[in-house]
Amino acid sequence: MNQRQRKKLIPSIWIMATKQTEAHAYYALYAIDWKRGGRLSWEGWNQLEDLLQFHIPIKRKAGGRKSSSQPAAKIAKRALHLHLNEAQFEQLEQLFYQPFSKKRWRMFIQMNRNL
């Protein structure tokens, strides 16, 4: 996705993924725009409190100049929470970096939503 397309990204769905390992948890936040086939991620938190305090820049409308930021805590209220093991998290990362496919994303979400 080039810079112009990235500016137009308006997330349709938010996914908060938690990978639990033996030693600690790992948190990541994903944004998917179904209409434009775009996705963004914010990864690398070991503490949930740190993730929830992070401010995420979001667009108000496609092509608009104004953007604002929201704390991840506000986004977490409407995000889909997935608790994944290491294999499922690896599958999510592979899906994230492959060419965009709505069908594959929806199948992954449905398979892991009921956990």
Q: Which residues in the chain land under pLDDT 70? A: 1-8, 59-67, 114-115
pLDDT at 76: 87
Question: How much helix, strand and coil, in percent to the nearest 5, is found in the chain?
Answer: 35, 35, 30
pLDDT at 69: 77
Alpha helices in the chain (DSSP H): 3-8, 48-53, 72-76, 86-97, 102-113
N residues, the chain:
115
Q: Is the dihedral of CA 88, 10, 79, 57 positive or negative?
A: positive
pLDDT at 9: 73
pLDDT at 62: 57
